[in-house]
Structure 1
Amino acid sequence: MKPSPWMMIGALFLLAACNQKAQQAAPSVANEPAAAATSPKHASGFEPPADSSIPSDDFGKQIALGRQIFIDTGRYAKGYVGNQLSCENCHLDAGRLAQSAPLWGAYPMYPAYRSKNHHVNTFAERLQGCFQYSMNGKAPPLGDDVLVALEAYAYWMSKGESIGVAPLGHGYPKLPKPAQAPDYARGESVFKRDCALCHGDNGQGQQAAGRTVFPPLWGPQSFNWGAGMERLDNAAGFIKANMPLSRGNTLTDQDAWDVAYFMNGHERPQDPRFHGSIEETRKAYHDTPDSLYGATVNGKTLGEGVLK
Protein backbone atom coordinates (compact mmCIF):
# COMPACT_ATOMS: atom_id res chain seq x y z
CA MET A 1 0.00 0.00 0.00
CA LYS A 2 1.38 3.41 -0.92
CA PRO A 3 -0.24 5.95 1.41
CA SER A 4 -1.18 9.31 -0.04
CA PRO A 5 0.69 12.27 1.46
CA TRP A 6 -2.70 13.79 2.15
CA MET A 7 -4.02 10.84 4.13
CA MET A 8 -3.81 10.26 7.85
CA ILE A 9 -1.24 7.51 7.38
CA GLY A 10 -1.46 6.30 10.94
CA ALA A 11 -5.14 5.45 10.52
CA LEU A 12 -4.42 3.57 7.31
CA PHE A 13 -1.72 1.42 8.84
CA LEU A 14 -3.83 0.62 11.90
CA LEU A 15 -6.83 -0.36 9.81
CA ALA A 16 -4.60 -2.51 7.65
CA ALA A 17 -3.28 -4.29 10.73
CA CYS A 18 -6.57 -4.65 12.57
CA ASN A 19 -9.03 -5.18 9.75
CA GLN A 20 -6.67 -7.12 7.48
CA LYS A 21 -7.43 -5.00 4.46
CA ALA A 22 -5.51 -2.35 2.58
CA GLN A 23 -6.98 1.01 1.74
CA GLN A 24 -6.03 2.72 -1.49
CA ALA A 25 -5.92 6.53 -1.36
CA ALA A 26 -5.82 8.88 -4.34
CA PRO A 27 -3.23 11.65 -4.04
CA SER A 28 -5.79 14.37 -3.55
CA VAL A 29 -6.25 16.76 -0.67
CA ALA A 30 -9.98 16.05 -0.86
CA ASN A 31 -9.64 12.40 0.19
CA GLU A 32 -9.81 11.52 3.88
CA PRO A 33 -10.60 8.28 5.74
CA ALA A 34 -14.33 7.71 5.94
CA ALA A 35 -15.86 8.56 9.32
CA ALA A 36 -18.43 6.37 11.01
CA ALA A 37 -21.89 7.80 11.61
CA THR A 38 -21.14 7.99 15.32
CA SER A 39 -17.80 9.73 14.84
CA PRO A 40 -17.10 12.46 17.42
CA LYS A 41 -16.47 14.77 14.47
CA HIS A 42 -20.17 14.72 13.66
CA ALA A 43 -21.30 14.48 17.27
CA SER A 44 -19.64 17.84 17.93
CA GLY A 45 -22.39 19.71 16.13
CA PHE A 46 -19.82 21.46 13.93
CA GLU A 47 -18.51 20.13 10.66
CA PRO A 48 -15.39 21.87 9.33
CA PRO A 49 -15.31 22.58 5.60
CA ALA A 50 -14.22 19.79 3.29
CA ASP A 51 -10.65 19.93 2.09
CA SER A 52 -11.98 20.00 -1.46
CA SER A 53 -13.35 23.47 -0.71
CA ILE A 54 -9.94 25.02 -0.06
CA PRO A 55 -9.91 27.98 -2.46
CA SER A 56 -7.49 28.01 -5.38
CA ASP A 57 -6.36 31.61 -4.82
CA ASP A 58 -3.26 32.82 -2.99
CA PHE A 59 -4.96 32.54 0.40
CA GLY A 60 -5.93 28.99 -0.43
CA LYS A 61 -2.29 28.19 -1.11
CA GLN A 62 -1.47 29.24 2.45
CA ILE A 63 -4.31 27.10 3.79
CA ALA A 64 -3.05 24.09 1.84
CA LEU A 65 0.50 24.71 3.06
CA GLY A 66 -0.74 24.90 6.64
CA ARG A 67 -2.40 21.54 6.19
CA GLN A 68 0.80 20.04 4.82
CA ILE A 69 2.75 21.38 7.78
CA PHE A 70 0.15 19.99 10.15
CA ILE A 71 0.25 16.42 8.87
CA ASP A 72 3.97 16.19 8.02
CA THR A 73 5.59 18.70 10.35
CA GLY A 74 9.08 17.25 10.22
CA ARG A 75 9.17 17.75 6.46
CA TYR A 76 7.50 21.12 6.06
CA ALA A 77 8.73 22.79 9.27
CA LYS A 78 11.98 20.89 9.69
CA GLY A 79 13.91 23.77 11.20
CA TYR A 80 11.56 24.01 14.17
CA VAL A 81 11.00 20.33 15.01
CA GLY A 82 13.19 18.36 17.42
CA ASN A 83 11.51 14.95 17.44
CA GLN A 84 9.61 12.51 15.22
CA LEU A 85 6.13 13.88 15.92
CA SER A 86 3.73 15.79 13.69
CA CYS A 87 0.91 18.05 14.82
CA GLU A 88 -1.57 15.41 13.68
CA ASN A 89 -0.34 12.89 16.24
CA CYS A 90 -2.17 14.76 19.02
CA HIS A 91 -4.79 16.52 16.86
CA LEU A 92 -6.18 13.69 14.75
CA ASP A 93 -7.60 13.69 11.23
CA ALA A 94 -5.53 16.71 10.18
CA GLY A 95 -6.90 18.68 13.13
CA ARG A 96 -10.52 17.95 12.27
CA LEU A 97 -11.54 15.29 14.80
CA ALA A 98 -13.61 16.36 17.80
CA GLN A 99 -12.28 15.41 21.23
CA SER A 100 -8.70 15.40 19.97
CA ALA A 101 -8.13 19.15 20.41
CA PRO A 102 -9.35 20.04 16.88
CA LEU A 103 -8.12 23.26 15.29
CA TRP A 104 -11.66 24.52 14.77
CA GLY A 105 -12.19 24.23 18.52
CA ALA A 106 -9.01 26.11 19.38
CA TYR A 107 -8.81 29.01 16.94
CA PRO A 108 -11.99 30.82 18.11
CA MET A 109 -10.78 30.74 21.74
CA TYR A 110 -7.80 33.06 21.21
CA PRO A 111 -6.52 35.54 22.33
CA ALA A 112 -6.70 34.04 25.81
CA TYR A 113 -4.86 34.19 29.11
CA ARG A 114 -2.77 31.07 29.80
CA SER A 115 -1.54 30.23 33.27
CA LYS A 116 1.30 28.28 31.66
CA ASN A 117 3.11 31.48 30.69
CA HIS A 118 1.07 34.02 32.71
CA HIS A 119 -0.03 36.33 29.92
CA VAL A 120 -2.62 36.71 27.19
CA ASN A 121 -1.58 34.58 24.22
CA THR A 122 -2.46 35.09 20.59
CA PHE A 123 -3.18 31.98 18.56
CA ALA A 124 0.25 32.32 16.93
CA GLU A 125 1.89 32.32 20.37
CA ARG A 126 -0.08 29.19 21.23
CA LEU A 127 1.34 27.54 18.12
CA GLN A 128 4.83 28.59 19.15
CA GLY A 129 4.38 26.67 22.39
CA CYS A 130 3.45 23.52 20.48
CA PHE A 131 6.76 23.62 18.65
CA GLN A 132 8.73 24.30 21.81
CA TYR A 133 7.12 21.60 23.95
CA SER A 134 5.17 18.99 22.00
CA MET A 135 7.61 19.02 19.08
CA ASN A 136 10.62 19.43 21.43
CA GLY A 137 11.93 22.03 19.01
CA LYS A 138 12.11 25.78 18.84
CA ALA A 139 9.39 28.36 18.39
CA PRO A 140 9.13 29.90 14.93
CA PRO A 141 9.33 33.69 15.22
CA LEU A 142 6.03 35.58 15.01
CA GLY A 143 5.27 36.28 11.38
CA ASP A 144 7.23 33.25 10.16
CA ASP A 145 5.79 31.52 7.10
CA VAL A 146 5.16 28.35 9.13
CA LEU A 147 3.01 30.14 11.71
CA VAL A 148 1.19 32.17 9.05
CA ALA A 149 0.27 29.02 7.11
CA LEU A 150 -0.87 27.12 10.21
CA GLU A 151 -2.97 30.08 11.35
CA ALA A 152 -4.51 30.38 7.88
CA TYR A 153 -5.44 26.69 7.98
CA ALA A 154 -6.96 27.00 11.45
CA TYR A 155 -8.88 30.16 10.49
CA TRP A 156 -10.31 28.56 7.37
CA MET A 157 -11.31 25.41 9.23
CA SER A 158 -13.05 27.43 11.96
CA LYS A 159 -15.22 29.63 9.74
CA GLY A 160 -18.75 29.56 11.09
CA GLU A 161 -17.74 28.95 14.69
CA SER A 162 -18.67 31.44 17.42
CA ILE A 163 -15.81 33.54 18.74
CA GLY A 164 -14.95 32.96 22.41
CA VAL A 165 -17.46 30.14 22.91
CA ALA A 166 -15.94 26.73 23.59
CA PRO A 167 -17.66 24.37 21.12
CA LEU A 168 -18.68 20.83 21.93
CA GLY A 169 -15.76 18.53 21.15
CA HIS A 170 -13.02 21.13 21.66
CA GLY A 171 -9.86 20.11 23.50
CA TYR A 172 -9.64 16.69 25.13
CA PRO A 173 -12.44 15.18 27.25
CA LYS A 174 -12.16 15.66 31.01
CA LEU A 175 -12.46 12.25 32.63
CA PRO A 176 -13.63 11.90 36.23
CA LYS A 177 -10.92 10.85 38.65
CA PRO A 178 -10.56 7.06 38.59
CA ALA A 179 -11.95 4.78 41.27
CA GLN A 180 -8.42 3.53 41.93
CA ALA A 181 -5.29 5.66 41.79
CA PRO A 182 -3.55 5.22 38.40
CA ASP A 183 -1.16 2.31 38.52
CA TYR A 184 2.01 1.58 36.53
CA ALA A 185 1.62 -2.22 36.46
CA ARG A 186 -2.03 -2.12 35.41
CA GLY A 187 -1.14 0.49 32.80
CA GLU A 188 1.62 -1.73 31.44
CA SER A 189 -0.92 -4.52 30.97
CA VAL A 190 -3.25 -2.18 29.07
CA PHE A 191 -0.33 -0.99 26.95
CA LYS A 192 0.71 -4.52 26.01
CA ARG A 193 -2.88 -5.45 25.20
CA ASP A 194 -4.06 -2.37 23.31
CA CYS A 195 -1.14 -0.10 22.42
CA ALA A 196 2.02 -2.09 21.68
CA LEU A 197 0.73 -3.30 18.31
CA CYS A 198 1.12 0.21 16.93
CA HIS A 199 3.55 1.98 19.25
CA GLY A 200 5.88 -0.98 19.73
CA ASP A 201 6.76 -2.98 22.81
CA ASN A 202 9.19 -0.27 23.88
CA GLY A 203 6.84 2.64 23.11
CA GLN A 204 9.15 4.09 20.48
CA GLY A 205 6.62 4.05 17.67
CA GLN A 206 7.02 2.84 14.12
CA GLN A 207 8.31 4.39 10.93
CA ALA A 208 7.82 3.53 7.27
CA ALA A 209 9.73 5.01 4.34
CA GLY A 210 11.38 7.50 6.68
CA ARG A 211 8.12 8.84 8.08
CA THR A 212 6.58 8.30 11.49
CA VAL A 213 3.52 6.09 11.18
CA PHE A 214 2.85 5.69 14.90
CA PRO A 215 4.47 8.21 17.25
CA PRO A 216 6.93 7.44 20.04
CA LEU A 217 5.25 7.85 23.41
CA TRP A 218 8.36 8.45 25.51
CA GLY A 219 12.10 8.63 25.06
CA PRO A 220 14.25 11.04 23.02
CA GLN A 221 11.90 11.32 20.03
CA SER A 222 8.70 12.05 21.95
CA PHE A 223 7.21 15.23 23.45
CA ASN A 224 9.15 16.82 26.28
CA TRP A 225 8.28 17.38 29.94
CA GLY A 226 6.80 20.79 29.16
CA ALA A 227 4.13 19.47 26.79
CA GLY A 228 0.47 19.36 27.75
CA MET A 229 0.34 15.62 27.09
CA GLU A 230 2.67 14.98 30.05
CA ARG A 231 -0.28 15.78 32.32
CA LEU A 232 -2.16 12.63 33.26
CA ASP A 233 -5.59 14.25 32.89
CA ASN A 234 -4.86 15.40 29.32
CA ALA A 235 -3.32 12.08 28.33
CA ALA A 236 -6.15 10.03 29.87
CA GLY A 237 -8.82 12.12 28.14
CA PHE A 238 -7.11 11.86 24.76
CA ILE A 239 -6.56 8.12 25.14
CA LYS A 240 -10.13 7.44 26.26
CA ALA A 241 -11.68 9.31 23.32
CA ASN A 242 -9.30 8.28 20.57
CA MET A 243 -7.24 5.19 21.36
CA PRO A 244 -6.68 2.57 20.14
CA LEU A 245 -6.80 4.50 16.88
CA SER A 246 -10.19 4.10 15.16
CA ARG A 247 -11.52 2.39 18.31
CA GLY A 248 -11.93 5.33 20.69
CA ASN A 249 -14.16 4.97 23.77
CA THR A 250 -13.55 1.23 23.99
CA LEU A 251 -11.21 1.43 26.98
CA THR A 252 -12.66 1.92 30.44
CA ASP A 253 -11.92 5.19 32.24
CA GLN A 254 -9.70 3.25 34.65
CA ASP A 255 -7.76 1.72 31.76
CA ALA A 256 -7.26 5.17 30.21
CA TRP A 257 -5.89 6.60 33.48
CA ASP A 258 -3.67 3.58 34.08
CA VAL A 259 -2.13 3.51 30.63
CA ALA A 260 -1.65 7.29 30.73
CA TYR A 261 0.28 6.78 33.99
CA PHE A 262 2.37 4.04 32.39
CA MET A 263 3.12 6.21 29.33
CA ASN A 264 4.04 9.27 31.38
CA GLY A 265 5.91 7.15 33.91
CA HIS A 266 8.84 7.00 31.48
CA GLU A 267 11.61 9.50 30.91
CA ARG A 268 11.40 11.98 28.05
CA PRO A 269 13.25 15.12 26.91
CA GLN A 270 13.82 17.76 29.56
CA ASP A 271 11.41 20.65 30.14
CA PRO A 272 12.95 23.65 28.30
CA ARG A 273 12.24 25.74 31.40
CA PHE A 274 14.59 23.59 33.52
CA HIS A 275 17.39 25.54 35.19
CA GLY A 276 19.35 22.91 37.10
CA SER A 277 16.91 21.63 39.71
CA ILE A 278 14.18 19.03 39.20
CA GLU A 279 12.62 20.02 42.53
CA GLU A 280 12.47 23.73 41.68
CA THR A 281 11.21 23.01 38.15
CA ARG A 282 8.43 20.87 39.54
CA LYS A 283 7.52 23.53 42.08
CA ALA A 284 7.42 26.22 39.40
CA TYR A 285 5.74 24.38 36.54
CA HIS A 286 4.50 20.91 37.56
CA ASP A 287 3.00 21.36 41.01
CA THR A 288 -0.04 19.15 40.40
CA PRO A 289 -0.91 15.48 41.04
CA ASP A 290 -1.46 15.19 37.28
CA SER A 291 2.26 15.62 36.55
CA LEU A 292 4.83 12.89 37.14
CA TYR A 293 7.77 15.26 36.66
CA GLY A 294 9.90 14.93 39.78
CA ALA A 295 7.84 11.97 41.03
CA THR A 296 9.27 8.53 41.73
CA VAL A 297 7.63 5.94 39.47
CA ASN A 298 8.60 2.30 39.25
CA GLY A 299 11.63 3.02 41.43
CA LYS A 300 12.95 5.92 39.35
CA THR A 301 12.68 9.66 39.94
CA LEU A 302 11.55 11.29 36.70
CA GLY A 303 12.70 14.58 35.27
CA GLU A 304 16.34 13.97 34.39
CA GLY A 305 15.45 14.12 30.71
CA VAL A 306 16.89 12.11 27.83
CA LEU A 307 19.15 13.25 25.03
CA LYS A 308 18.33 12.87 21.34
Structure 2
Amino acid sequence: MPDGPYGDAIRRGSNIFTRTGLHVKDHVGNQLSCDNCHLDAGRRANAAPMWAAYGAYPAFRATTGSVSTLEDRIAACFTYSMNAPGSVSGKAPAPGSQVYRDLVTYMAWLANGAPAGERLRGAGYPRISKPSDGYDLNRGRVVFRQNCAQCHGVDGQGSRDGQGHTTFPPLWGRGSYNWGAGMAQVDMAAAFIKANMPFGRPGSLTDQQAWDVAAYIDSHERPKDPRQNGTVAQAARKDHAGEDSFYGTTLRGHLLGIGVGAGGAVEPG
Protein backbone atom coordinates (compact mmCIF):
# COMPACT_ATOMS: atom_id res chain seq x y z
CA MET A 1 0.00 0.00 0.00
CA PRO A 2 1.35 3.46 -0.83
CA ASP A 3 2.22 6.12 1.70
CA GLY A 4 0.36 9.39 2.14
CA PRO A 5 -3.37 10.23 2.17
CA TYR A 6 -4.21 7.74 -0.59
CA GLY A 7 -2.52 4.91 1.30
CA ASP A 8 -4.26 6.00 4.50
CA ALA A 9 -7.63 5.71 2.76
CA ILE A 10 -6.72 2.27 1.42
CA ARG A 11 -5.77 1.10 4.91
CA ARG A 12 -8.98 2.47 6.41
CA GLY A 13 -10.98 0.72 3.69
CA SER A 14 -9.12 -2.53 4.28
CA ASN A 15 -9.82 -2.31 8.02
CA ILE A 16 -13.51 -1.64 7.43
CA PHE A 17 -13.68 -4.54 4.99
CA THR A 18 -12.07 -7.09 7.30
CA ARG A 19 -13.32 -5.85 10.69
CA THR A 20 -16.54 -4.15 9.75
CA GLY A 21 -18.27 -4.37 13.13
CA LEU A 22 -15.24 -2.93 14.88
CA HIS A 23 -14.59 0.04 12.60
CA VAL A 24 -18.14 1.04 11.56
CA LYS A 25 -20.22 -0.58 14.30
CA ASP A 26 -23.08 1.91 13.88
CA HIS A 27 -23.75 0.42 10.44
CA VAL A 28 -23.65 -3.28 11.36
CA GLY A 29 -26.48 -5.18 13.02
CA ASN A 30 -24.98 -8.67 13.08
CA GLN A 31 -21.66 -10.45 13.59
CA LEU A 32 -20.46 -10.38 9.99
CA SER A 33 -17.69 -8.57 8.15
CA CYS A 34 -17.44 -7.93 4.42
CA ASP A 35 -14.74 -10.59 4.08
CA ASN A 36 -17.02 -13.34 5.37
CA CYS A 37 -18.55 -13.50 1.88
CA HIS A 38 -15.78 -11.78 -0.11
CA LEU A 39 -12.95 -14.00 1.08
CA ASP A 40 -9.28 -13.18 1.60
CA ALA A 41 -10.02 -9.50 2.21
CA GLY A 42 -11.91 -9.29 -1.08
CA ARG A 43 -9.10 -10.76 -3.16
CA ARG A 44 -10.06 -14.39 -3.76
CA ALA A 45 -11.29 -15.35 -7.21
CA ASN A 46 -14.75 -16.97 -7.30
CA ALA A 47 -15.61 -15.38 -3.97
CA ALA A 48 -17.02 -12.15 -5.42
CA PRO A 49 -13.62 -10.37 -5.38
CA MET A 50 -13.50 -6.60 -5.23
CA TRP A 51 -10.96 -6.31 -8.04
CA ALA A 52 -13.66 -7.67 -10.35
CA ALA A 53 -16.54 -5.67 -8.84
CA TYR A 54 -14.86 -2.25 -9.00
CA GLY A 55 -14.91 -1.91 -12.80
CA ALA A 56 -18.38 -3.46 -13.19
CA TYR A 57 -20.31 -0.39 -11.96
CA PRO A 58 -22.37 1.66 -12.68
CA ALA A 59 -24.63 -1.06 -14.09
CA PHE A 60 -28.32 -1.75 -14.57
CA ARG A 61 -29.59 -4.36 -12.12
CA ALA A 62 -32.81 -6.23 -12.83
CA THR A 63 -33.37 -6.84 -9.12
CA THR A 64 -33.78 -3.11 -8.49
CA GLY A 65 -34.95 -2.07 -11.95
CA SER A 66 -32.43 0.77 -11.96
CA VAL A 67 -28.79 1.65 -12.52
CA SER A 68 -26.69 1.02 -9.42
CA THR A 69 -23.38 2.63 -8.58
CA LEU A 70 -20.73 0.86 -6.53
CA GLU A 71 -21.80 2.97 -3.56
CA ASP A 72 -25.39 1.74 -4.04
CA ARG A 73 -24.20 -1.86 -3.98
CA ILE A 74 -22.16 -1.31 -0.84
CA ALA A 75 -25.17 0.34 0.83
CA ALA A 76 -27.29 -2.69 -0.05
CA CYS A 77 -24.69 -4.97 1.53
CA PHE A 78 -24.87 -2.97 4.75
CA THR A 79 -28.67 -3.08 4.69
CA TYR A 80 -29.12 -6.79 3.99
CA SER A 81 -25.93 -8.81 4.41
CA MET A 82 -24.75 -6.76 7.39
CA ASN A 83 -28.32 -6.37 8.69
CA ALA A 84 -27.83 -2.67 9.40
CA PRO A 85 -30.08 -1.72 12.33
CA GLY A 86 -32.62 1.06 12.24
CA SER A 87 -35.39 2.06 9.84
CA VAL A 88 -37.00 0.07 7.03
CA SER A 89 -34.20 1.04 4.67
CA GLY A 90 -31.57 0.10 7.21
CA LYS A 91 -28.87 2.30 8.66
CA ALA A 92 -26.30 2.06 5.94
CA PRO A 93 -23.83 4.97 5.84
CA ALA A 94 -25.34 8.16 4.46
CA PRO A 95 -24.68 8.92 0.77
CA GLY A 96 -21.21 10.37 0.30
CA SER A 97 -20.01 9.02 3.64
CA GLN A 98 -16.29 8.65 4.30
CA VAL A 99 -17.04 4.94 4.79
CA TYR A 100 -17.90 4.62 1.10
CA ARG A 101 -14.90 6.68 0.03
CA ASP A 102 -12.54 4.46 2.00
CA LEU A 103 -14.12 1.21 0.83
CA VAL A 104 -14.20 2.31 -2.81
CA THR A 105 -10.59 3.48 -2.58
CA TYR A 106 -9.57 0.09 -1.22
CA MET A 107 -11.47 -1.65 -4.02
CA ALA A 108 -9.90 0.62 -6.64
CA TRP A 109 -6.45 -0.22 -5.30
CA LEU A 110 -7.23 -3.96 -5.51
CA ALA A 111 -8.44 -3.44 -9.10
CA ASN A 112 -5.37 -1.50 -10.24
CA GLY A 113 -4.67 -2.52 -13.85
CA ALA A 114 -7.86 -4.54 -14.27
CA PRO A 115 -9.99 -3.67 -17.34
CA ALA A 116 -13.30 -1.93 -16.67
CA GLY A 117 -16.66 -2.66 -18.20
CA GLU A 118 -16.24 -6.38 -18.70
CA ARG A 119 -16.82 -9.46 -16.58
CA LEU A 120 -13.48 -10.76 -15.39
CA ARG A 121 -12.62 -14.39 -14.85
CA GLY A 122 -13.19 -15.17 -11.16
CA ALA A 123 -15.87 -12.50 -10.71
CA GLY A 124 -18.83 -13.27 -8.48
CA TYR A 125 -19.60 -16.85 -7.53
CA PRO A 126 -19.59 -19.49 -10.30
CA ARG A 127 -23.25 -20.56 -10.52
CA ILE A 128 -24.03 -24.28 -10.57
CA SER A 129 -27.15 -25.79 -12.07
CA LYS A 130 -29.81 -27.10 -9.76
CA PRO A 131 -29.59 -30.90 -9.59
CA SER A 132 -32.35 -32.88 -11.24
CA ASP A 133 -33.13 -34.29 -7.78
CA GLY A 134 -33.56 -30.77 -6.38
CA TYR A 135 -32.32 -30.51 -2.80
CA ASP A 136 -33.07 -32.29 0.44
CA LEU A 137 -32.85 -30.82 3.95
CA ASN A 138 -32.10 -34.13 5.63
CA ARG A 139 -29.16 -34.73 3.30
CA GLY A 140 -28.12 -31.13 3.85
CA ARG A 141 -28.08 -31.60 7.61
CA VAL A 142 -25.72 -34.55 7.21
CA VAL A 143 -23.43 -32.55 4.90
CA PHE A 144 -23.47 -29.66 7.37
CA ARG A 145 -22.52 -31.79 10.35
CA GLN A 146 -19.78 -33.59 8.44
CA ASN A 147 -18.25 -30.58 6.69
CA CYS A 148 -19.39 -27.30 8.26
CA ALA A 149 -20.10 -27.79 11.97
CA GLN A 150 -16.42 -27.97 12.92
CA CYS A 151 -16.06 -24.26 12.12
CA HIS A 152 -19.61 -22.89 12.26
CA GLY A 153 -20.84 -25.06 15.14
CA VAL A 154 -23.63 -27.64 15.17
CA ASP A 155 -25.97 -24.75 16.04
CA GLY A 156 -24.70 -22.72 13.06
CA GLN A 157 -23.70 -19.78 15.25
CA GLY A 158 -20.05 -19.63 14.31
CA SER A 159 -17.23 -18.51 16.60
CA ARG A 160 -15.46 -15.34 17.69
CA ASP A 161 -11.95 -14.64 18.93
CA GLY A 162 -10.97 -13.04 22.23
CA GLN A 163 -11.35 -9.55 20.74
CA GLY A 164 -14.92 -10.19 19.61
CA HIS A 165 -13.99 -10.58 15.94
CA THR A 166 -15.95 -13.22 14.06
CA THR A 167 -13.59 -15.96 12.92
CA PHE A 168 -16.33 -18.15 11.44
CA PRO A 169 -19.66 -16.40 10.82
CA PRO A 170 -23.08 -17.42 12.09
CA LEU A 171 -25.14 -18.89 9.25
CA TRP A 172 -28.59 -18.25 10.69
CA GLY A 173 -30.21 -16.62 13.69
CA ARG A 174 -29.84 -13.15 15.14
CA GLY A 175 -26.17 -12.66 14.22
CA SER A 176 -26.44 -13.62 10.56
CA TYR A 177 -27.56 -12.01 7.29
CA ASN A 178 -31.22 -11.10 6.98
CA TRP A 179 -33.91 -12.42 4.62
CA GLY A 180 -33.19 -9.69 2.06
CA ALA A 181 -29.56 -10.77 1.53
CA GLY A 182 -28.56 -12.57 -1.63
CA MET A 183 -27.07 -15.38 0.45
CA ALA A 184 -30.56 -16.18 1.78
CA GLN A 185 -31.34 -17.49 -1.71
CA VAL A 186 -30.45 -21.16 -2.01
CA ASP A 187 -28.90 -20.91 -5.47
CA MET A 188 -26.59 -18.07 -4.38
CA ALA A 189 -25.54 -19.91 -1.22
CA ALA A 190 -24.95 -23.13 -3.18
CA ALA A 191 -22.68 -21.30 -5.64
CA PHE A 192 -20.64 -19.74 -2.84
CA ILE A 193 -20.36 -23.03 -0.96
CA LYS A 194 -19.37 -25.07 -4.02
CA ALA A 195 -16.57 -22.66 -4.96
CA ASN A 196 -15.26 -21.83 -1.49
CA MET A 197 -16.30 -24.27 1.21
CA PRO A 198 -15.38 -26.12 3.35
CA PHE A 199 -12.71 -23.62 4.30
CA GLY A 200 -9.37 -24.94 3.04
CA ARG A 201 -11.06 -27.54 0.81
CA PRO A 202 -12.95 -25.49 -1.82
CA GLY A 203 -14.57 -27.51 -4.58
CA SER A 204 -14.54 -30.74 -2.57
CA LEU A 205 -18.33 -30.97 -2.28
CA THR A 206 -20.40 -32.28 -5.16
CA ASP A 207 -22.98 -29.98 -6.75
CA GLN A 208 -25.70 -32.00 -5.00
CA GLN A 209 -24.03 -31.62 -1.61
CA ALA A 210 -23.61 -27.87 -2.14
CA TRP A 211 -27.30 -27.44 -2.97
CA ASP A 212 -28.42 -29.68 -0.11
CA VAL A 213 -26.34 -27.91 2.54
CA ALA A 214 -27.23 -24.46 1.17
CA ALA A 215 -30.90 -25.36 1.49
CA TYR A 216 -30.36 -26.64 5.02
CA ILE A 217 -28.64 -23.41 6.04
CA ASP A 218 -31.22 -21.15 4.40
CA SER A 219 -34.15 -23.09 5.85
CA HIS A 220 -33.49 -21.53 9.26
CA GLU A 221 -34.92 -18.29 10.59
CA ARG A 222 -32.82 -15.15 10.45
CA PRO A 223 -33.39 -11.39 10.89
CA LYS A 224 -36.40 -9.86 9.15
CA ASP A 225 -36.16 -8.42 5.64
CA PRO A 226 -36.06 -4.64 6.26
CA ARG A 227 -38.32 -4.07 3.24
CA GLN A 228 -41.19 -5.91 4.91
CA ASN A 229 -43.90 -3.48 5.99
CA GLY A 230 -46.96 -5.72 5.88
CA THR A 231 -47.31 -9.47 6.15
CA VAL A 232 -44.74 -12.05 5.15
CA ALA A 233 -47.07 -13.16 2.34
CA GLN A 234 -47.22 -9.62 0.96
CA ALA A 235 -43.44 -9.24 1.13
CA ALA A 236 -42.98 -12.64 -0.52
CA ARG A 237 -45.04 -11.50 -3.51
CA LYS A 238 -43.44 -8.06 -3.70
CA ASP A 239 -39.77 -8.72 -2.96
CA HIS A 240 -39.14 -12.45 -3.22
CA ALA A 241 -41.13 -13.62 -6.26
CA GLY A 242 -39.14 -16.03 -8.39
CA GLU A 243 -36.41 -16.59 -5.79
CA ASP A 244 -35.22 -20.02 -4.75
CA SER A 245 -35.80 -19.20 -1.11
CA PHE A 246 -37.62 -20.48 1.95
CA TYR A 247 -38.97 -17.01 2.67
CA GLY A 248 -42.71 -17.21 3.31
CA THR A 249 -42.81 -20.99 3.68
CA THR A 250 -43.85 -22.86 6.81
CA LEU A 251 -41.27 -25.34 8.01
CA ARG A 252 -41.14 -27.26 11.27
CA GLY A 253 -44.30 -25.45 12.31
CA HIS A 254 -42.75 -21.99 11.84
CA LEU A 255 -43.52 -19.34 9.22
CA LEU A 256 -40.11 -18.38 7.87
CA GLY A 257 -39.62 -14.67 7.29
CA ILE A 258 -41.18 -13.25 10.46
CA GLY A 259 -37.64 -12.83 11.75
CA VAL A 260 -35.67 -13.79 14.81
CA GLY A 261 -37.33 -12.40 17.91
CA ALA A 262 -40.77 -12.36 16.33
CA GLY A 263 -41.84 -15.87 17.26
CA GLY A 264 -38.46 -17.40 17.86
CA ALA A 265 -35.71 -18.86 15.73
CA VAL A 266 -36.09 -22.23 14.08
CA GLU A 267 -33.77 -24.74 15.68
CA PRO A 268 -31.63 -27.02 13.55
CA GLY A 269 -33.75 -29.92 12.37
- TM-score, normalised to structure 2's length? 0.92
Q: 2:168 aligns with which of 206, 209, 214?
A: 214
Amino acid aligned to 1:151: V
The offset of 1:127, in angstroms, is 0.4
- Aligned-residue identity in percent: 49
Q: Which residue of 2 aligns with 1:152?
A: 105
Shift of 1:200: 0.5
Q: Give the stretch that moved more between structures: 155-164 or 72-81.
A: 155-164
Q: Is 1:59 aligned to residue 13 of structure 2?
A: no
Matched, 1:271 2:225: yes
Q: 2:31 pairs with 84, 87, 110, which one? A: 84
Structure 1, unaligned runs of 5 or more = 1-53
Q: CA deviation at 1:117?
A: 2.4
Amino acid at match of 1:303: G
SS in 1 for 2:60: strand
1:40 corresponds to which residue? none
Correspondence 1:107-126 to 2 at 5 A: 107-126=54-73
2:42 aligned with 1:95: yes
In the alignment, what sits opposite 1:133?
80
Q: What one-letter code is carried by the residue in structure 2 that aligns with 1:148?
A: R
1:203 equivalent in alignment to 2:203: no
Deviation for aligned residue 1:301: 2.6
What do the CA deviations read for 1:22-43 (whole angstroms, capped 9, x no partner)?
A: xxxxxxxxxxxxxxxxxxxxxx
Deviations along 1:169-204, one digit per CA (max 9) or x if unpaired, are 100111011131111111000000000000001001
**Counterpart in the other structure of 1:301:** 255
| Equivalent runs, 1:228-307 vs 2, <5 Å | 228-307=182-261
**Equivalence for 1:11:** none
**Aligned equivalents of 1:187 and 1:289: distance in 2?**
19
Matches of 1:58 and 1:160, distance apart in 2: 21
Deviations 1:99-123 (A, max 9, x none): 1100011111100112232211110
**3-state DSSP class of the match of 1:120?**
strand
Q: What is residue 69 of structure 1 aligned with on the other side?
A: 16
Number of aligned residue pairs: give it: 255
TM-score (norm 1): 0.81
What amino acid does structure 2 have at the position aligned with 1:197?
A: Q
Alpha-carbon shift at residue 218 of structure 1 (Å) = 0.2
- 5+ residue gaps, structure 2: 85-90, 263-269
Task: Give the whole-Å Cα distance in 2 for the aligned partners of 1:299 and 1:79.
Answer: 35
Greater length-normalized contact order (CA 8 Å, ≥ 6 residues apart) = 2
Tell me the amino acid that sits aligned with residue 102 of structure 2.
A
User: Contact 1:184–1:298 at 8 Å: present in 2 too?
Assistant: no
Distance 2:166 2:243 in 1: 31
> Partner letter of residue 207 of structure 1?
R
CA distance in 2, matches of 1:163, 1:203: 38
How far does residue 263 in structure 1 lie from its aligned partner after superposition? Answer: 0.2
Q: 1:185 matched to which residue of 2?
A: 138
